[in-house]
């Protein structure tokens, strides 16, 4: 789909604004109707047509009335009434205008975002879509496009650096419960397989209609360079198995503008920082508050003295910086400051190409994340390994994707498995809340966690008469892993393969389940603290090493040696 023209944007902006004004007018009319109804109930003797009429009465002499005279409304009183009505009318007009202007400003900012066809809906590559209902996945591309850049911007120009590549490629995952955020970085030098894509012309921002065959062993920034947003979205969906429902592409100027709009962002530099291309960025180590220009140099530098001059050092700096930027952008200092928030949104919109990133939706999402602890935000670099090139220099090394570890990482993200260094979720409901005077129910089993399985005592019984020797084979396999099988033998016929356990054995049962995925947990009060694997018909006899201690059974375990940055940790500490 082509980018929407300016004329269409303007028409949409006018239509949306008029619609919001009409809605506000209808809302005020409904409030007035309800007010009249309440007034009629309280004063049924007063006719509807004269409820707003100002009455003036002159004193009337009644010869038969010997009591005190009843005075009519004085001129002073009438002035007060008229003043109150003027104030009320002015307030109503202000509410109407401010509400309309608020919606108008929102749609004005929306109209500045260049819309582009980027998302691949109903992709067969989405894995376990039922587990992803309500999740938000943002594909974020930091484009190195210099289109429209001015000499004073200090980023080069389109003649010297033509085209547009994904200088930054990240996927931000926010689960449906909004209790965590995981941001996965894909370095641009990583060798990947690019899927078949439609060709994209970055100079016009349009798709050409030409189909490009898939290509192997290309760098990760190529899908965006040759196939644009749709190609990089397709590639990331196939790589991650996540359903990507938002696309954002921001160029250099947009990045600078967003940083400047919120003021400065703190960074920590462990040593002086000098880049072969950008020059001296920091003359000495320390903690600095940096503006947009300095921030752009900080995240772009990839030929820094003392580093291996690979993209992975730069990715780590990007993650550190974004964790600081995120903490500030979600703080009350920004969300509750109309000036800074408006500046941030305008800077975001002015240099952004995207799909499904309306301002209203983004503000709603930001508000839902305002209570998110920084320690629940984790930046991860996609698993990779390095293959030495023909020389000892770093510039010809090959960065290879570790496919099995990558699959395990994104399965863990889908399952909600905690990642290394992630702060535990402490938002569980206080059990003391909501208690009533009714008798407490009898205690039941708790949710078990995987624990160290070495020496864990379990029983193995075979309840499948057609599977002779299953108990003996399973006992040997479990003992080889380190379990202590204390009882083994046959049992009466069972309906299916289950793990029986009682109170106090929840963790042991969860651990055994992670080693015997074909079984089902079944609580049985008379088991007390024992755990028994009862083999039933049709069991596949799969026995494997358990998951890492502390994880939930049935959830994927993230790979070891992940490169992570926790947003809650001060890099200068």
Q: What is the pLDDT of residue 245?
A: 92
**Residue 63 to residues 67, 72, 319, 504, 532, Cα–Cα distance (Å):** 10, 18, 93, 97, 106
Per DSSP, 429 falls in state: P
The per-residue pLDDT for 153 is 46
Q: Which residues pair with 572 in a beta bridge?
A: none
Tell me which residue of 198, 183, 196 sits closest to 235, measured CA to CA.
196
Predicted pLDDT at 573: 65
Give the separation between CA 111 and CA 88, rounded to whole angstroms. 34
Of 465, 479, 459, 487, the closest CA to residue 536 belongs to: 465
Instruction: Say which residue the tokens 């309906």 belong to.
Output: 495
Exposure pattern of 473-485 as b/e (b: 16+ CB <10 Å)?
Answer: ebbebbeeeebeb
Q: Are 525 and 497 in contact (CB under 8 A)?
A: no
Cα(453)–Cα(485) distance, rounded to whole angstroms? 12
Instruction: List Cα–Cα distances, 466 to 3, 252, 461, 538, 540, in angstroms.
Output: 65, 68, 14, 10, 13
Sign of the CA dihedral with 477 first, then 481, 486, and 491 last: negative
CATH of 129-415, one of 3.30.365.10, 3.10.450.50, 3.40.920.10, 3.40.630.190: 3.40.630.190
At a CB cut-off of 8 Å and minimum separation 6, what does 152 contact? Answer: none
**Can you give the residue ranges of every domain in the chain?**
6-49+73-112, 129-415, 443-555
- Cβ atoms of 199 and 211 closer than 8 Å: yes
Q: Which residues of the chain have pLDDT under 70?
A: 1-28, 31, 34-111, 144-166, 309-310, 330-332, 334-336, 363-364, 370, 389-396, 426-444, 550-554, 571-573
Distances (CA, A) of 199 to 116, 161, 225, 486: 14, 20, 9, 64
Closest residue by Cα to residue 319 from 186, 409, 176, 419 = 186
Residue 99: strand, helix, or coil: helix
Alpha carbon separation from 302 to 231, 270, 439, 518 (Å, rounded): 25, 16, 65, 48
Cα–Cα dist 92/50, whole Å: 21
Instruction: Identify the bridge partners of residue 207 per DSSP, sorted by sequence position.
Output: 200
pTM: predicted TM-score of the whole model, two decimal places:
0.63
Q: Which residues contact 565 (CB under 8 A, 6 or more apart)?
A: 316, 319, 320, 323, 378, 379, 380
φ, ψ for residue 289, nearest 5 deg:
-100, 115
CA distance 103 to 452: 56
**Token pair for 268:** 């920590």
- Cα 167-170-176 angle, rounded to 5 deg: 160
Assigned fold of 443-555:
Alpha-Beta Plaits (3.30.70)
CA dihedral 334, 335, 336, 338 (to 10 degrees): 80
Q: What are the tens digits of pLDDT across the range 423-470?
A: 887 654 444 444 433 444 455 677 788 888 999 999 999 999 999 999
- Per DSSP, the three-state class of 183 is strand
The span from the CA of 502 to the CA of 532, in Å, is 10
Per residue in 364-391, pLDDT (tens digit) is 677 777 677 888 889 999 999 888 766 6
């Amino acid at each position: 789909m082509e980018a929407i023209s300016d004329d269409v944007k303007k028409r949409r902006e006018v239509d949306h604004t008029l619609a919001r004004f009409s809605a506000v007018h209808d809302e005020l009319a409904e409030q007035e109707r309800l007010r009249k109804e309440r007034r009629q109930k309280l004063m049924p003797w007063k006719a509807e047509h004269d409820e707003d009429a100002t009455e003036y009465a002159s004193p009337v002499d009644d010869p038969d009335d010997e009591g005190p005279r009843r005075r009519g409304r004085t001129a002073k009183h009438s002035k007060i009434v008229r003043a109150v009505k003027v104030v009320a009318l002015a307030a109503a007009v202000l509410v109407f205008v401010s509400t309309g202007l608020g919606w108008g400003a929102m749609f004005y900012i929306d109209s500045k975002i260049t819309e582009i066809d980027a998302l691949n809906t109903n992709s067969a590559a989405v894995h376990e879509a039922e587990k992803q209902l309500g999740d938000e996945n943002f594909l974020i591309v930091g484009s190195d496009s210099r289109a429209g850049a001015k000499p004073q911007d200090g980023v080069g120009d389109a003649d010297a650096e033509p085209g547009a590549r994904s200088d930054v490629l990240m996927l931000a995952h926010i689960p449906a419960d909004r209790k965590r955020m995981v941001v996965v970085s894909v370095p641009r030098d990583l060798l990947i397989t690019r899927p078949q894509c439609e060709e994209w012309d970055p100079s016009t921002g349009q798709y050409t209609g030409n189909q490009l065959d898939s290509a192997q062993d290309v760098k990760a920034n190529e899908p965006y360079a040759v196939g644009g947003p749709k190609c990089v979205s397709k590639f990331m969906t196939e790589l991650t198995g996540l359903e990507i429902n938002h696309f954002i592409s921001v160029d250099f100027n947009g990045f600078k503008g967003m940083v400047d709009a919120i003021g400065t962002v703190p960074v920590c530099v462990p040593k002086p920082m000098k880049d072969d291309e950008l020059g001296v960025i920091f003359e000495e180590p320390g903690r600095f508050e940096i503006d947009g220009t300095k921030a752009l140099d900080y995240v772009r530098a990839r030929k820094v003295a003392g580093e291996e001059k690979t993209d992975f050092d730069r990715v780590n700096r990007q993650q550190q910086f974004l964790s600081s930027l995120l903490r500030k952008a979600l703080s009350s200092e920004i969300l509750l400051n109309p000036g800074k928030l408006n500046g941030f949104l305008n800077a975001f919109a002015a240099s952004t190409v995207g799909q499904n990133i309306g301002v209203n939706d983004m503000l709603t999402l930001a508000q839902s994340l305002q209570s998110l602890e920084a320690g629940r935000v984790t930046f991860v670099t996609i698993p990779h390994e390095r293959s030495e090139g023909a020389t000892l220099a770093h510039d010809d090394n090959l960065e290879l994707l570790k496919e099995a570890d990558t699959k395990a990482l994104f399965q863990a993200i889908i399952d909600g498995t905690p990642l290394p260094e992630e702060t535990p979720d402490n938002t569980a409901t206080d059990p003391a809340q909501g208690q009533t005077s009714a008798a407490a129910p009898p205690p039941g089993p708790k949710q078990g966690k995987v624990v160290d399985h070495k020496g864990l005592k379990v029983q193995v019984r075979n309840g499948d008469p057609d599977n002779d020797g299953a108990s003996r084979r399973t006992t040997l396999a479990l003992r080889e892993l380190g379990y202590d099988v204390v009882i083994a033998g046959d049992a009466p016929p069972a309906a299916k393969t289950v793990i029986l356990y009682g109170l106090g054995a929840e963790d042991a049962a969860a651990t055994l389940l992670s080693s015997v995925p074909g079984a089902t947990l079944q609580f049985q009060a008379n088991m007390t603290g024992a755990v028994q694997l009862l083999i039933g018909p049709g069991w596949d006899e799969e026995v494997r090493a358990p998951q890492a201690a502390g994880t939930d059974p049935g959830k994927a375990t993230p790979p070891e040696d992940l490169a992570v940055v926790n947003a809650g940790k001060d890099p200068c500490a």
